[in-house]
Amino acid sequence: MTSKTVLITGGTSGIGAETARLLLDRGHCVAVTGRNEAKLKAFLDAAGHPDRLLGLIGDAADWPATRSAVTATVERFGALHAAVANAGFTSADYQRTAGATLDDGDPTLWPPMVLTNVLGPALLAKAALPHLEATRGRMVLIGSVAGLKNAPASLYSATKWAVTGLAENLRLHATTRGIGITLVNPGMIDTPFWEGNSAPPFALPPRHVAESICFALDQPAGVDLNTLTIRPIGQPV
């Protein structure tokens, strides 16, 4: 890629943070959002490149915050070439906080997951697409293998199926405006969301997913790479 500006929601840890670091290493400008001010500051301090890195406090499921993040990114760097809808609950995080299934879950904890995983990417698309049209850029949605393979009574899986549908709906709309849409579906990834549990020994480091996101962003003009599914060797489902 020539130098570009990329906005990543939920960019202070896991896949989002690795993608931000990789893009910075390659000379790009990056804006990251996060809900936790302390985590955001720690990431910014560790990442360096203050001239090319912008940190923004915001909830991906909040429209004013998302719109403000896009506006601030464009004002700081002059344009927006890519937006990565990365903020979301992982399956391990969901199981720890809200229960693994509809039977054993706590319904009072479900709304934040549904809003973050489903509403969040839609809000980012609404805010970012006009700017991506101007740069003929790309939007990346982080889905999951759980959005391709059903899991018994899993609301988390249902939210990722919604992301799969949203990505194709967006593609049908965005391709007429010169914008690329890519859905990235990670399998088991070793991220902080496994807190309290051990990740499977074959789980991929988030860096590998970040490399795939950068691969999508690096496609030549006129190429729309729509779906990337990334499982570790050893994951049977």
Residues marked active site are found at 156
In the β-sheet with 180-186, what is the strand arrangement from edge to edge? 53-57, 29-34, 5-8, 82-85, 138-142, 180-186, 227-230
Q: What DSSP state is assigned to residue 175?
A: G
- The pairing of strands 180-186 and 5-8 is unpaired
Asked if residues 232 and 217 have their Cβ atoms less than 8 Å apart, the reply is no
* SS3 of residue 64 by DSSP: helix
Tell me how crowded residue 19 is: count the other CB atoms within 10 A of its CB: 29
84 beta partners: 8, 140
Asked if residues 128 and 80 have their Cβ atoms less than 8 Å apart, the reply is yes
Write phi, then psi, for 207 (nearest 5 degrees): -55, -35
Tell me how crowded residue 161 is: count the other CB atoms within 10 A of its CB: 19
